[in-house]
Amino acid sequence: MKLPTLSLHHHHHLTTPFLHNAATVSLSRSTRVSNGSPFAVRMSLKEDGPSVAIVGVTGAVGQEFLSVLSDRDFPYRSLKLLASKRSAGKKVNYENRDYTVEELTESSFDDVDIALFSAGGSISKKFGPIAVDKGTIVVDNSSAFRMDDGIPLVIPEVNPEAMEGIKLKSGKGALIANPNCSTIICLMAATPLHRRAKVSRMVVSTYQAASGAGAAAMEELELQTREYAFNLFSHNAPVLSNGYNEEEMKLNNKSVKVTATCIRVPVMRAHAESVNLQFETPLDEDTAREILRNAPGVVVIDDRAANHFPTPLEVSNKDDVAVGRIRQDVSQDGNYGLDIFVCGDQIRKGAALNAVQIAELLL
């Protein structure tokens, strides 16, 4: 059962201004739960499921791991909730059972089949390899291992094949990296188009939510302090010698040329991205729209007459990435360019949901 006390967030279903005729678009909260009620009783505790640990359970993404596991009826035979010493001892009621948060130590991973990490890069770097040595398969939400050769960086809808060879019950541990949130949200829309017409270059400008800067930034925005509200600023990641910040370089890709500008905006938990695409072969906008309508995990919101397009509020707490403003780029001749606008929940598909989907591929 999804308990409200464990869920940081509630549903927003407000329309945006100027959208008086906005059609209702259904975005899936969970793709696997047939009963739509958020209070449906689900029991994922199953004798033959893997043993699961959550590292960083008290954080925003850690809490979302619990929500997503429950929403998707992810089977587990046992659940271990791990956090720093400061949080150890906290009681959590989850799916009708009481748990006590335990301190993360080197012995935390005995008999853990799958560990979902979201406790920052330094915790991942220290405890990830320890878990792997114990035979645990680690799905890591930090940037610690994203650039490492031999560690798959996986979006299940994009490159599930990268996980080949990683199996539960093989006795062998492994690391799998969860990509950066902006990258996941962008590639959910760009990849289906890339498969058809090969993207040669992308120009991305992001509108990133406060949630990516942590719970403190969200609280600051909620309190409407002038430093965060009514303003926006270049992403707070360190700037490299080439002038790009680390967040922007994360959008880079070996096979596609990408330039990105990453900006934080006073929005709570969903990212938006303006993406300009150049293709090697022509792709018209109607075909692109049809491809995106059929893409898994993607919903098209593209009602020009009603000026109804994706917004961060509309995708907040939702699984799907929403795509709209699909149009032929007037600055490129002959159907070789498209502009699109993408929104996705940074904590959900950008973090916890993607990690749990990776774990599902192991089942």
181 is annotated as an active-site residue: yes
Nearer to a second copy, 109 or 244 (CB): 244
Question: What's the residue count for the chain?
Answer: 363
Task: Give, in order, the Cα–Cα distances in Å from 194 to each of 103, 186, 199, 338.
Answer: 44, 12, 5, 12
271 is annotated as an active-site residue: yes
Q: Hey, which residues does 153 pair with through a beta bridge?
A: 177
Closest contact distance (angstroms) between CB of 274 and a second copy is 4
String of DSSP letters for 7-30: -------PPPTT-TTPPP----S-
Identify which of 70, 80, 69, 63 has the alpha carbon closest to the alpha carbon of residue 41: 70
Q: Which of 9, 235, 271, 308 is catalytic?
A: 271
Closest contact distance (angstroms) between CB of 278 and a second copy is 9
Closest contact distance (angstroms) between CB of 335 and a second copy is 13
Identify which of 60, 34, 52 has the alpha carbon closest to the alpha carbon of residue 115: 52
* Helical spans, DSSP H, in 106-179: 121-133
Closest contact distance (angstroms) between CB of 343 and a second copy is 9
What b-and-e string marks burial along 176-191, b requiring 16 or more CB atoms within 10 Å of the CB? bbbbbbbbbbbbbbbb
Nearer to a second copy, 55 or 204 (CB): 204
Closest contact distance (angstroms) between CB of 212 and a second copy is 13
Residues of this chain that bind a second copy (CB under 8 A): 12, 14-19, 201-203, 205, 207, 217, 220-221, 224, 226-234, 236, 238-239, 242-245, 252, 257-259, 261, 263, 265-268, 272, 274, 276, 285, 304-305, 307, 309, 311-313, 324-332, 337, 339, 341
Contact by Cβ (8 Å): 236, 212: no
Nearer to a second copy, 77 or 201 (CB): 201
Any long-range contacts for 119-126 (C-beta under 8 Å, 24+ apart)? 119/55, 119/56, 119/59, 119/62, 119/83, 119/84, 120/56, 123/55, 123/56
Nearer to a second copy, 51 or 205 (CB): 205
Nearer to a second copy, 136 or 208 (CB): 208
Largest CA distance in the chain: 63
Q: Which of 9, 181, 194, 308 is catalytic?
A: 181
Query: Residue 45, Cα to own-chain centre: how many angstroms?
Result: 25
The catalytic residue positions are: 181, 271
